[in-house]
Amino acid sequence: MSIWTEMGFQESPYATRPVPASAEGEALFVGREVVAKRLANRLTSSDRHPTIEGENGVGKTSLVSVVGYRLRREYEEGETGQAIIPLDEAFQLTPKETAASLERRVLLAVANAMIEHHGVLKRGGHNVPDVSNVKRWLNSPLLTGGGGGGSALGFGANATRTVAANTGAGFNEEGLKSTITGWLSQCFPTSQSGAFVCVLDNLELLETSKDARALLESMRDGMLSMRGLKWVLCGARGIVRTSASSPRLEGRLAEPLELDPIADDEITQVIARRLDYYQINDSAVAPVGPESFKLLYDILNKNLRNALKYSEDFAFWLDDEGHIGKREDDFGALFEEWVKREAAKSAEQTDLSGTRAWEVFGSLVSYGGSCSPGDYFEFGFQTPQAMTPHIKTLEDANLVQSSTSDEDRRRKTITLTPRGWFVRYARSGFVLPE
């Protein structure tokens, strides 16, 4: 039996994964209605691809999931003839991946989406390929073609059919692309017909805006121009804005939607909604209730993902220490003790004596927890290079993290870690700023 069942829940109400594109995600969605409407408008009413920018853990992927689910449901329920259907997976990149390898992954995901949503697309009047032929094509080295003026893989009527070996390098790349782009063009002949929504998440994994810009530019005339695909690009620390500023990408990408942390007056509702959704019965006892969760959220600089992670850590600590079965009021007192102990332990294990790093740390906190290399003067340094050793000291102590800086020194590439925020809480005497 899991500890969550013992506490009266189906599963962890503090899971850090993005909410799914489903009724579950809709039920857990709190505090984002204004930006959700803006994203929906951009997906349904523009040929440009929406972009979203916000700090790591703020909820960008969850926002896209819920908006995509709502638009798909509107189509399925006949409220609109525009089929906006999100793909099941979000795509992420590393510096080693190329536009070509991403394109192959996307096209195969589209082929599977054609199978999954074939029925609803057909009922809505969209021209979709025959599912049996798509399945055969995906799972066999044989390509079914048509004769007599028909089209391949189920589009249109064919007088005759042929089967050819699907093993040539040309088909592996160009054949794959031409086949699936053909499906997309016929299924979604105009932007108002709809599109499959592809999410390119965590662009900051590419480390520099130069890398991200090069990747996006290489996608410009391929995936970013492909009929029937609508992209949503997500990233943190300014990478979307700086990457999308390339002249080659003008007209392809929309200005970023800025996603701020969930407001203070709504954050307790986030966890209350989760506790209510996952509880098995009315006797469920939450290890971290709404008020305790808000305290943790504030300590961690309003990072939702980190607050959920540490809430789950506390639940496991309760089980390790044999506290499961106590009243919810007891959990609240234990939680405050646990948070202070974790913060104090992090501070005690951090020795930066004799360096200027603590001064830089304090300035970074007053800056809101993030800065760019170009902010060196505000930190009391004459050059970025003079500030670098102190940032490295803080990095080594796991108080900050930084990504590789490049020609754009405005990007917020230096940020406090969760451990850094715990240390800040301890050093303040366990007092939060007003």
Encoded amino acid at 399, one letter? L
**98 shares a domain with 200:** yes
| Dist. CA 243–CA 212, nearest whole Å | 6
**47 shares a domain with 196:** yes
Give domain status of residue 374, yes or no: yes
Encoded amino acid at 250, one letter? E
Residue-range definition of the domain harbouring residue 284? 263-348
Looking only at the bridges linking them, the beta strands covering 414-416 and 400-402 are: antiparallel
Give domain status of residue 171, yes or no: yes
How many CB atoms within 10 Å of residue 296?
Answer: 21
pLDDT of residue 153: 45
Give domain status of residue 330, yes or no: yes
Encoded amino acid at 90, one letter? A
Q: CATH number, domain at 411? A: 1.10.10.10
List the structure tokens of 319. Answer: 């089980």
**174 shares a domain with 157:** yes
Give domain status of residue 267, yes or no: yes
Question: What count of Cα atoms within 13 Å lies in the side-chain half-sphere of residue 401?
Answer: 11
Strand order in the sheet with 83-92: 83-92, 194-201, 229-235, 51-53, 257-258
Q: CATH number, domain at 201? A: 3.40.50.300
**250 shares a domain with 154:** no
Give which of 301, 270, 266 is closest to 288, Cα–Cα.
270
Give domain status of residue 203, yes or no: yes
Q: Give the pLDDT of the chain (434 residues) as one tens digit per residue.
A: 789 998 999 999 999 998 888 999 999 999 889 999 999 999 999 999 999 998 888 889 999 999 999 999 999 999 999 999 999 888 887 777 788 888 888 988 998 899 899 999 999 999 988 877 777 766 665 444 444 333 444 443 333 333 343 444 334 556 778 888 888 999 999 999 999 999 988 877 776 667 777 878 888 888 889 999 999 999 876 777 777 777 888 888 888 999 999 988 899 999 999 999 999 988 888 999 999 999 999 999 999 999 999 999 999 999 999 888 777 778 889 999 999 999 999 999 998 877 799 999 999 999 899 888 888 899 999 998 899 899 999 999 999 988 754 554 555 678 999 999 999 999 999 998 77
| Dist. CA 346–CA 159, nearest whole Å | 73
Give domain status of residue 208, yes or no: yes
Give domain status of residue 58, yes or no: yes
Number of domains, the chain: 4
List the structure tokens of 178. Answer: 């031409």
**What pairs with residue 279 in β-bridges?**
9
